[in-house]
Amino acid sequence: MNTLVDGRFQDSVPANDRAMLFGESVFETIAFYGTSAPLWDRHMRRLEKATTQLDLPMPEVAALASDCARLIPRDNKHRLIVRITVTGGSGGQGYWPPTEPSCRRIVQLRPWPESFDRQCRLGLKTIISRFQISSGGPFAGLKHGNRLLQTQAARECRQRTADEAILLDESGQFAETLSSNLVLVIGERLLTPANVDVAGVGLSWLQERLATRLEQGSIKAEQLQLLSEVLVINSVAGIRPVVSIENQPYPAGPVAKELQSIWHEEIAL
């Protein structure tokens, strides 16, 4: 069994868990290389911020680390993925949460998708989704359990035989993709949209790594001709070039190669 619920091996949660009833949960998806997770501290900081904002107790980081260690073999040499989910637990009355906040921690081990390596080499064919994100709002930036927009956009993506979908905001500006943040190359400038639904851990690493070289900004969908390269980044798959948007080709250029090299030297050890 590859799932721990509150430190116990089991593969189910009660039907009255508030994540199941109302989507009251936050989660982190973490890449492990062997038994090491280079971005662990960043994931834990984002998880703590999210649980605080939703008034959920933050599990002890030591307990989460212990759960991961129990699931990952001590002699592991492979890349693996761990998803940590913190839910609102059981209890309360309808939308009203329990008087004393509670939580349930779920830690799951997953295999590494073979598609990631291929996409890093060959790039992503993308579409512009008909689903748009709402910028701002009280939960902007949180990786919470209400992912209905993303699941529907993923269905659209599959129906149109694309690898990824680019999501716009309500003003028609590029925002993010299904599961990654965007890096847009316009001449010598590197831009990443500020109007995102999820503040990515991989992107936060890249912003610190590149400092002022990576600016916040965005472009509208009708300005595609301005782009010389388009990249996506997340903390698991790393940095992947976009090779087409709505069948318009974009070559994987020097910025993609440079940033992928930095990622492999410093993160994907």
Q: pLDDT per residue over 41-94, tens digit each?
A: 999 999 999 999 999 999 999 999 999 999 999 999 999 999 999 999 999 999
State phi, psi for 226 to the nearest 5 degrees. Answer: -75, -20
Residue 114: pLDDT band (50, 70, 90) is very high
- Average the pLDDT over 16-30 and give the result: 96
Domains annotated on the chain, with CATH: 3-112 (3.30.470.10), 117-266 (3.20.10.10)
Q: Are 34 and 41 in contact (CB under 8 A)?
A: no
pLDDT digits 0-9 by tens, 191-234:
999 888 898 999 999 999 999 999 998 889 889 889 999 999 99
Is the pLDDT at 136 greater than 80? The verdict is no
Distance CA 23, CA 17 (A): 9
Q: Are 107 and 6 in contact (CB under 8 A)?
A: no
- Which pLDDT does position 64 carry in this prediction? 98
- Which pLDDT does position 184 carry in this prediction? 96
- Which pLDDT does position 83 carry in this prediction? 98
Residue 141: pLDDT band (50, 70, 90) is confident
Distance CA 231, CA 236 (A): 15
User: Of the candidates 259, 258, 174, 250, which has an alpha carbon nearest to the alpha carbon of residue 217?
Assistant: 174
Residue 137: pLDDT band (50, 70, 90) is confident
- Average the pLDDT over 244-268 and give the result: 94
Q: What percent of the chain has pLDDT over 70?
A: 100
Distance CA 181, CA 72 (A): 28
Mean pLDDT rounded to a whole number for the chain: 94
- Which pLDDT does position 233 carry in this prediction? 98
- Which pLDDT does position 38 carry in this prediction? 97
Distance CA 260, CA 38 (A): 16
Distance CA 225, CA 84 (A): 40
Radius of gyration of the chain from its Cα atoms, rounded to whole angstroms: 19
- Rounded to two decimals, the pTM is 0.95
Structure tokens at 183: 């890096």
- Average the pLDDT over 131-148 and give the result: 87
Distance CA 195, CA 191 (A): 12
- The CA-CA-CA angle for residues 191, 130, 232, to 5°, reads 30
Residue 159: pLDDT band (50, 70, 90) is very high
pLDDT digits 0-9 by tens, 92-110:
999 999 998 899 999 999 9
